[in-house]
Each structure stands twice: as structure tokens, then as C-alpha cells.
Chain A
Amino acid sequence: MSHGNRWRWFSPWYFLFPFLVVSSLLIVWPTLVTAGLAFTDFNAVSAPVWVGLDNFLRLAQSEIVRTGLVNSGIFVALAVPLRTAGALGMALLLRGRERPFGVLRGVVYLPTVIPEAAYALIWLWILNPVYGPLNLLLGAVGLPAINWLTDPVYARLGMVILATFQIGEGFVLLLAARETIAQDVYEAAAIDGADRWRAFRYITMPLLLPWLLLLVGRDLLVSLQNTFAPSFIITYGGPYYATTFVPLLVYEMAFDFLELGMAAALLLFVLLVTGLITLAITDFSVVKE
């Protein structure tokens, strides 16, 4: 560490410098401009024209936008509890140092790291109503085939199912959190005569609760946004708007219909909602400290 003094001037702020510059260019500035476009009529070609809150009024009146918001709401309401429960269940099942557990942990994490376009393409095949392995499997055990791609209810459910396998991040978070609970707490409880369920109910759950809340909050945001690739590739929003989620709607408005002002307004609305959720989560001391 002989060169230490030469670099003494280097305060922690300098470490942040590249990030501050590049993120201003690639994130902050683009977001501010997009937010500004929300108050304009912009069709990609001629200059944006200021229209005040017009776009928001049109959004409020649009039936399709309402459908998109409802769809996203249904998706989140189904996917978030399922994903959280799945992550918790797998984390509790797969703790342990033996090799098989390590391999299984990797397998559970797998769908999370698969490129989303490839993942959606695979599911397009799996959900095929006649030739898809899922329906063939249902048929093999004597269950009726399900119209995954053509029935509005099952199309939405299909989207939820494929999202339920992408829980790797929450899974690792809870796995790590579970590790922090000391074994002697359970041993003491066992001596007091607590069974497994009681131990789970009165020790594991309360201690994991802050992480579960964090996870639920984070999942609200992730689930809202991650619907784009599957709905774009598998159903293109169909059947009849059943899987037209907000991100697909923004995309369609902006790039199919060239209503970039409207798209920006919808985006800004989503951003405000997600921003509020984010602030609520980061308010937990767990995140900041």
C-alpha cells in the first residue's frame, strides 16, 4: 500500500462518477423527455405539440386502456401470491448443504436466467392446445385438454403459470434469509414441545416476514413489467385483449399507432404507480441499511 498517499484525494464520490454521467444520459434524461412527451401530441414525425392533460383524459375514456389495466391487475393479483409462495416453499424445501440440494437449487433458478424470448418461445409450444406437452400430459392422466391460447381465462392463467417458474431471485433471497435464523432457536422450541407447524408459524414466519414484504413489493413491480415478452410472443395480447397488459398496450400505441404522446402518458401513469410502490418498499430499513 505504498502508493496510498498518491490517491488520497480520491473520495468515494469519484467511484460514483461514471455511473452518474452515464445514467444521466441513458436513464434520467430519456425518462424526463418521455415524461414531457406525455403532455404533448407526438406522432414521431412532426414536432410535439403541447396539449396539457389531453392525453390523460383520452386514456381515462379509453375502453382498451381500462381493459389493459384490469388485465395487469388480474395478473398481478394472481402471480404475486403464487410467486411469493413458490419462492418461500422452494427456499424452505431446498435449504441444506448436501450436493443434491445444490443441484436442485440450480434447477429452480434456471427459468429465471433463461433469455426471455427463448423462454416465451418454449412456452408457446408447451401451451399448444393440441400438440403441446402440457395438454398431452393432462390427457395422459385422463384430464380434459385446456384451451390455453384461445380461452381468455386460461390464456391469462397460462401467462401466470410461466411467470410462476421465474422465481429465482425471490428464492435466493428467502434462502439467504432462512440461513440467518439460528438453529438453536428451533432446538429450544423443540424442547418446549413445538411441532414443525408451530415452529414454522411462530419462528420461521415472523422472522422471514420483513423479507416476504420486500419480496411482495418487488414482485408487484416485476410482475407489472415482465409480461411484455410473453404476451408479445405467445398471444400478441389475445384472445380478444385477454392478455393485453399495460406494457404491450404502451408498445402498440407508440409503435403501431404512432401515438407516442398517448403512450408516454400511459407510461408516466405506470411510472408514478410503480414509483410510489418502490418508495414504499425502500422505506423499509432493510433496503437502505
Chain B
Amino acid sequence: MKNRLFSFLGIVFLVFVQGCTPPPPAVTFSVFGDPAELAAYESLVEAFHEQNPQIKVQLQHIPSQSDYRRRLATAFSAGTPPDVMLINYRRFASFAGQGGLEPLDTYIEQSEIINRSDFFPIALSSFEWRERLWCVPQNVSSLVVYYNRDLFDEAGVSYPEDNWRWEDFMRAAQELTQDHDRDGQIDQYGAGIAPNLFRLAPFIWQDGLDIVDDPLQPSRLTLDQPEVLTVFQRFIALQTVDQVVPNANAEAAEPSENRWLNGGLAMYFNSRRGVPTYRTIDSFEWDVVRLPITQDEWIGILHSDAYCLAAAAENKEAAWQFIEFANGVQGQTIVARSGRTVPSRPDVAQSPAFLDGLPPANAQTFIDTVDQLRGVPVMAGWTAIEEITGKEIERAFYGQVSAEEAAAAAIELTAPYFENNQ
């Protein structure tokens, strides 16, 4: 009888573990993005395999950013994060601060393939924190204004140029906001911008101010300071006063980016990431221009993702070899061809891989402004702060509360995250 019991147990167990895989591959590499990006990373891994047949890289691609975060958190919690992963500079501190990531300064110093001097300084420095370099940047995108040339032509407005001012932008936005059939419903909007802290920040900087009290040791948001509040009010006035951007309902009915794609919105604020989709537009001509300047000094906002190495990675050498390759000229060239990113290496950024003659014609502006970009503070709770503040900015933007109320609420609700960081 006992034997039978054991054979029964054995069968249950066998059925359960059937389908075991061979041992995990040497290096796992996690990214997220749309199918076009997936294709770019697939060719990156393929090119790496050609040169390093002894190392197997498994590409783990997760479609949406929220699923990507969920996977990373789960895998880190279980103690087995992917060996190499792409992380934004606004997020890496949460992982680095607790010993989840491997500092890469010694790696890059000893590398024969890549050097610090290969990269735009701002890109590297945004991944430096607590005096270590944590990740190797893949791209240095920035916020630009995409504009529909056909709509500018129709309205007889001259195209924006890279030295344009906020007043020029406002004038264009007002002239391009139109109610064609005069039914009281706006059918064409002058501009579209996501109401959040990340979009608001560069305008605060341009006025010589900051979004936090001390960018290196932030302890609170400064949205409630009178000068900052003025910029905030100017930002929400786009919707509440000037009405050159869609209101809450119009946005819910058809998001700004969709209006832009369908030719119903003249100027759309976005980073480089929109380009692959925008290249499929065939109903109008478009280009990019840098952000309008509000005061004397032009400042843009940095967008950057980097390859990070997990501290728990078993084969760090192999993982580093992949990071080296991905950030070498060949690796960055492959990813740059997707059109989605601005390479973090000046040599690749200036090459035909990036300046490929496809729209936007003014792609050079992404490179020219790199030195004048600024990043948001690097700290562990930043994601939560941005998310919570975004909700406040959004409701002020759509006229549900005043800027003062929204600023006060944002400061109160984000306080615990600054405290935890101390």
C-alpha cells in the first residue's frame, strides 16, 4: 500500500514538473516598447551573437511600461532580476539605492570598447548618483515641439524657428486654434501638451527657478513659491484662459496625440519617441522645433534610458560585454535606425544612422540642444512624486482647481516621499 502511495505521489510530481526548461541562458536582457522597438532590439541581440557566439543573450520584451515595471518589481523581489535592463534616469535610483544595481564606474574605466568620453556628458551624469555611475545611457532625447507644416501654411503663419519665444508660440497657437464651421466647437487646436510635472519643469527652469528646493538634496517641491506659481499659472492658462489646447472632455474623446496624427492639432509636445509612429503620417508634412524660450536662457528637459546591470547577475562579465556592445558604435547604430531614440554617443548621433534624411528634417535640433538640457532630481521616491504631482497639475490644467490649491495639495501629498528619502 505504501508503494502505491509513493507511485501516486511520483506521478503527481512528474506531471507537475514536466516541461522543465534547460538551464537559463547566460544573459537575460529586459526591455519594453512597441513592435518597432522590439525589432530593433532583436537585431541588436542578433548582431551581438554574431560577434560573441559563446554568449547567449535572451531578449525579454514586455509590451507596456506598466507591465514592465510590474515584472521588474516582481523579479527583483524574488531575487532574480534580469541581468541587463533598460531603465529611465527618473527610476534607476529606486533600484540602485538599495544595492539592486551594480555600479559601473570600474567597468567603464577598464573597458577597451567604450569610454566615458564617448557619451554626451549630460547623459552620463544623469546616471551618476552618490558618486557612482550606475548605468550606461542609451539615448538623450528631449522635449520638442512637433508641428504640422500644412496647418501653418493654411493659416498663413510662418513656421517656428529654433530661436522662437513663448510669445511666438502663443500667437501661433491662437491663430491655429480654429472653429472651421463656426458651431462653437473647436475643430482644430493650436497645441497639445500632457499636463504633468515633466512637461512643466523646463518652463520653470527657463525662468531661472527650480521644481525642488535643492536639486541635489531635494526636501520639497517649490510649486507654491510665488515665482514658480506664476509659471505654473501660465502653463495651465493654455487651457483655462487661452483655450488653445483641448479641454478635459475633448482630450478624453480624442487624445491630443491622436488629433495631431489625424491633422487636427498643429503643435504637439513630445520627446523623440513619437517619431516612428509619426513617420507613418502621409496626410501632411511635419517637422520639429525646440521648445519656445520664455526668458533669456534656453533650457530643455532630458529624457534618457540606460542599460543597467543587476547586482544579482550571475555572469557579470558576459552581461557587461553585452552592455559594451550595445553602447559601442555598432550597437547604438542599430538601435538609432529605429528612429525612436537620440543616440547618447555624439559620433552616432551625427552619423546617417540618426540623421537619416527621413522626417523630421530638423532632427539636428535634438543634438544641438543636448548641452542645454537639464534633468529632474535623482532620488528613490521620484516616481511617486511625479505621479502624485501630475494628478494635481492635471486638475488645475483642466480648470477644476486653482494653481494655488493644486500646488498646496501636491506639496502635502508628496511630503512623505521626500521624508523617506532623507
Which residues of chain A have a CB within 8 Å of any CB of chain B?
9, 14, 17-18, 21-22, 42-46, 58, 62-64, 128-131, 147, 149-150, 238-241, 251-252, 254-260
Contacts and interface: CB of A to CB of B under 8 A. Distances in A.
A137 B13 CA distance: 57
B392 to A, nearest CB: 8
Contact of A238 (B9, B12, B254, B391): B391
A256 B398 contact: no
B316 interface: no
Contact of A256 (B74, B249, B250, B383): B383
Given A128-B252, A130-B249, A21 B99 contact: no
Contacts of A62: 416
B328 interface: no
B4 interface: yes
Nearest to B251: A150
Nearest to A259: B384
Q: Chain B's interface: helix, strand, loop or mixed, by majority?
A: helix
B250 to A, nearest CB: 7
Contacts of A58: 416
Interface string B373-392: 00000001101100110010
21 contacts: A9-B1, A9-B4, A14-B8, A17-B9, A43-B98, A44-B77, A44-B100, A45-B97, A45-B98, A45-B99, A64-B388, A130-B250, A130-B253, A131-B254, A149-B249, A150-B252, A239-B400, A255-B66, A255-B70, A258-B383, A260-B73
Contacts of B95: 44-45
B130 to A, nearest CB: 15
Contact of A43 (B69, B74, B94): B94
A45 B92 CA distance: 12
B413 interface: yes
Q: Chain A's interface: helix, strand, loop or mixed, by majority?
A: loop
B287 interface: no
A64 B413 contact: yes
Nearest to B384: A257
A3 B83 CA distance: 55
B100 A45 contact: yes
Nearest to A7: B4
B249 A150 contact: yes
A18 B416 contact: no
Contacts, number: 92
Interface of B: 1, 4, 8-9, 12, 16, 66, 69-70, 72-74, 76-77, 94-95, 97-100, 248-250, 252-254, 380-381, 383-384, 387-388, 391, 394-395, 398, 400, 412-413, 416-417
A144 to B, nearest CB: 13
A256 B98 contact: no
Nearest to A235: B252
Of A45, A254, A260, chain B has the most CB atoms within 10 Å of the CB of A45
B12 A18 contact: yes
Contact of A257 (B66, B77, B383): B383
A147 B249 contact: yes
A260 B72 CA distance: 13
Nearest to A124: B252
B254 A240 contact: no
The 3 A-B residue pairs with the shortest CB-CB distance, nearest first, are A130-B253, A45-B100, A45-B98
Given A9-B1, A129-B249, A255 B73 contact: yes
A241 B391 CA distance: 8
A46 B250 CA distance: 44
A260 B384 contact: no
B117 to A, nearest CB: 31
A233 B394 CA distance: 18
Contacts of A17: 8-9, 12
B134 to A, nearest CB: 13
Given A128-B252, A130-B249, A131-B254, A240 B76 contact: no
A186 B72 CA distance: 61
A131 B255 CA distance: 12
A254 B73 contact: yes
